[in-house]
């Protein structure tokens, strides 16, 4: 059975790019562009890993990651932040929110798949 990856990004182009890379790597993915619907998508899709953008309207990836990691039902799902925020302080803050991994945009297929394979 294919491992399922939830891709959360406010850019549909970024979602499609990641989904294509994941499909080539042998994963099944579901993409959502509304970060306020992450928990709903988790309940529906039961993903093995979450790829989460940081810079999004209404709810940024740091907030979403912290919310997920503080929720009993979702805390064990690995969260990989996929973001253009690449300063050491951003990485540190992501770790403090409970992120399991960090992929800097722009990324190669190998970088994305390597991060996902660590947890899937």
- pLDDT tens-digit series, residues 91-103: 999 999 999 999 9
Query: Is residue 1 scored above 90 in pLDDT?
Result: no
Query: Average pLDDT in the 75-90 region?
Result: 96
Of the chain, the percentage scoring pLDDT greater than 70 comes to: 100
Q: Place 2 in a pLDDT band, splitting at 50, 70 and 90.
A: confident
List the chain domain ranges. 4-117
Query: Average pLDDT in the 4-18 region?
Result: 98
Label residue 107 exposed, middle or buried (CB < 10 Å: 0-12, 13-18, 19+): middle
Assigned CATH class of 4-117 = alpha beta
Q: Give Cβ neighbours of residue 14 (< 8 Å, ≥ 6 apart).
A: 53, 105
């Amino acid at each position: 059975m294919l491992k399922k990856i939830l891709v959360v990004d406010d850019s549909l182009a970024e979602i499609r790019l990641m989904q294509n890379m994941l499909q080539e790597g042998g994963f099944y993915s579901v993409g959502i562009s509304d970060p306020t619907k992450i928990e709903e998508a988790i309940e529906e899709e039961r993903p093995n890993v979450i790829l989460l953008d940081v810079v999004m309207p209404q709810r940024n990836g740091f907030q979403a990651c912290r919310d997920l990691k503080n929720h009993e039902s979702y805390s064990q799902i690995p969260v990989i932040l996929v973001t253009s925020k690449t300063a050491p302080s951003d990485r540190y803050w992501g770790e403090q929110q409970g992120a399991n991994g960090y992929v800097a945009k722009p990324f190669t297929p190998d970088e994305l798949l390597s991060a996902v394979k660590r947890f899937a």
